[in-house]
Structure 1
Amino acid sequence: MTDDELRIGTAEREAAVKLLGDHMAEGRLALEEYEERTTAALAARTRADLRPLFADLPAPHPAFMTTPAPYMPAPYTSAPPPVGYAPAPPPSTESDRLRVVAGVLQIVLPFGIGRFYTGHNNIGLAQLLTSFIGIGVIWSIIDGIIILAGGGTDANGRRLQA
């Protein structure tokens, strides 16, 4: 089926009549010719029926006459991928790191070790440096409990595995 064989609806007919009215207002169509073309536009069933009504008129035309042909992808070729090409792995919503391991490391070794494990190196470093004054130890233990209770994320924002 070609593009011109497609059936049109009321919206396309009304758009064509409006555009014909614009052409009449510009003085390109006499009243009698406008009436003939609008009658033909209202009786049109396919895009091919509307196309001759605008053949001798400049733009604006109905949208289907001005839009480019739809994109057609190139045919599939079986060319081998380039050397060294590896397809990207599918995106994962779950981390490869374990929540239990991160939480236990935070509690047992309260120096930010669990944060280093999950890839949050800046937080781990802050906990390590503040552990010498005691605040980092408390912070690490509370952080470990939170990780065990509610989960957490790795450095890429993916949820830790249960």
Structure 2
Amino acid sequence: MESDQLRVGTAEREEAARLLADHFGMGRITPDEYETRVTDAYAATTLGDLRPLFRDLPPPHPGFFGPPPVYAQATVRMPMYAPDPYAPPPAPMPYAPVPYSYRSRTVAGVLQIVLPFGVGRFYTGQVGLGLLQLFVVLMTGVGILWPIIDGVMLLKDGGLDAQGRPLRP
């Protein structure tokens, strides 16, 4: 072959020696074979001198030997199209509507303000919070502010009933 007559340089010899070291590290050649092949690799002057060093070894082979045979090349399938990098992001999925509670936030807020003992929270079904507000109001006089502020917040922002549904406006 005409390519076997091409002269090799130091870079090619070092690549061959490095690949032989990889094969030795994988246990494919013995220490004596490795020493002999590396000595031959550094003494090589043409591609024809380096080819026999890798003839009985599986890949990897030096890249300067040429492309691997067609059957050894991996097939890369390119997609038919690529997504447009400048396209706007897809629209978010619409959320399922949350069913409203049959209880009203207006009634809950007014009950909290007019009867500041947690009555509005009892109305929404949040018995634990209603009991806590009742306890705080009965034990401390200043605690009466909490149900009143809670009633204003219920009127302004609404709230949730005991099942986690938003109160009806």
Q: TM-score range by the shorter chain?
A: 0.3 to 0.5
Given the two structures, how large is their TM-score scaled by the length of structure 1?
0.43
Q: Which has the larger radius of gyration?
A: 2
Structure number with the higher strand fraction is 1
Given the two structures, how large is their TM-score scaled by the length of structure 2?
0.42
